[in-house]
Amino acid sequence: MSSKKRILYISQEVTPFLKSSEISKNVKTLAQKTQESGKEIRVFMPRYGLVNERRNQLHEVIRLSGMNMIINDVDHPLIIKVASIPSAKMQVYFIDNEEYFKRKAIVKDEKGKLFEDNVQRSVFFIRGTLETVKKLGWIPDVIHCHGWMTALLPLYLKTYFKDDPHYANTKVVSSLYEDSFEGELNDNIEDILKFDGVKESFMNHIKNGSDYLNLTKTAIDHSDGIVLFSDNIDSEIIDYVNKADADSLKFVNSEQHHEDCSNFYDEILEKEPKLAE
């Protein structure tokens, strides 16, 4: 078995498959730098309809596809695709589903309104990634989340997957960006989580609304580490990070941050995993 530390990156965006953003550029560079530092990596993102499959040479991974996942009592097939980034010498896996990700948009419609099924899409992406990583037989030491579409992953890792031996020693790190959204996600977020066995006691923030602030606080509560990837993050979130029971890595500059993250993973791994309370 390899003695290299294994880092799983799960992100709502990755360059060059979508238009460049703060998140997409950081994830690509960070994953590349981490790999160059001697760690093993895997990278996952949704296969939005905006991703050009032909230009980016995506192809389905038959041995990983074929699973079905039930989201809020509805069965959905899970398709796994993969593509390479030759310049970075790495691969990116894509979580695909006809209903959730075929549309030519990321999280909003042409009028700028959030999709009503973004919670279901997020849960499908999170659970799909974690189930696919199990099927790969690859045990991550750290899962590093990027973008609010991944905000529920720390909660799922510490509740839905808490008795799964595959993730028994896995730590989770959440990155915070200047990526907030206006308004709230769909009203039935509690029902979706309850269907997956998440207890009400883990929904203290979400009970107050499925807005960006409550999602982010939920991610912070269940993360072993927090990485600030911007110097323009909401002050209320910064205050919450400072009071949280999790190590944090403050933002300096992008280039330095990419180097610091690799050391941050090592620090996190020396500590006991945070358990769901």
Contacts of 41 (CB under 8 A, 6+ apart): 6, 7, 8, 9, 31, 34, 35, 90
Judge whether residue 33 has pLDDT over 70: yes
- 28, two tokens: 């690509």
User: Any alpha helices (H) in 137-234, and if so which ranges?
Assistant: 153-158, 189-195, 212-221
Cis amide prior to 273 (ω within 30 degrees) = no
- 260, two tokens: 């610091």
In the chain, what percentage of residues exceed pLDDT 70? 96
Scored b (16 or more CB within 10 A) or e, 134-156 reads ebeeebbbbbbbbbbbbbbbbbb
Instruction: Classify domain 6-48+106-269 at the CATH superfamily level.
Output: Glycogen Phosphorylase B; (3.40.50.2000)
Task: Report the DSSP beta bridge partners of residue 125.
Answer: none
Mean per-residue pLDDT for 21-38? 94
**Entry field: residues in the chain:** 277
- Return the half-sphere exposure (C-beta side, CA atoms, 13 A cut-off) of residue 117: 12
Check residues 40 and 250 and name the one with the higher pLDDT.
Answer: 40
The whole-number pLDDT of residue 12 equals: 96
The whole-number pLDDT of residue 78 equals: 97
pLDDT in tens, 180-217: 898 888 778 999 999 999 998 899 899 888 899 999 99
The whole-number pLDDT of residue 273 equals: 66
Q: Which of 128-132, 142-146, 153-157, 243-247 shows the lowest per-residue confidence on average (mean pLDDT)?
A: 243-247
Scored b (16 or more CB within 10 A) or e, 248-257 reads bbebeeeeeb
pLDDT in tens, 35-78: 999 999 999 999 999 999 999 999 999 999 989 999 989 999 99
The whole-number pLDDT of residue 23 equals: 94
The whole-number pLDDT of residue 277 equals: 54
Check if the beta carbon of residue 156 is closer than 8 Å to that of residue 131: no
Rg (CA), the chain: 17
Instruction: Give the start-to-end residue ranges of the domains of the chain.
Output: 6-48+106-269
The whole-number pLDDT of residue 59 equals: 96
Judge whether residue 270 has pLDDT over 70: yes
Judge whether residue 1 has pLDDT over 50: no
141 to 3, 167, 179, 194, 269: CA distances (angstroms)? 11, 8, 26, 28, 7
Side chain identity at residue 160, one-letter code = Y
Mean pLDDT of the residues in the chain: 92
The whole-number pLDDT of residue 30 equals: 94
DSSP annotation of 184? B
pTM assigned to the model: 0.95
The whole-number pLDDT of residue 274 equals: 64
In a 10 Å sphere around its CB, with 0-12 CB exposed, 13-18 middle and 19+ buried, how is residue 3 labelled? exposed
Q: How confident is the model at residue 271 (pLDDT cuts 50, 70, 90)?
A: confident
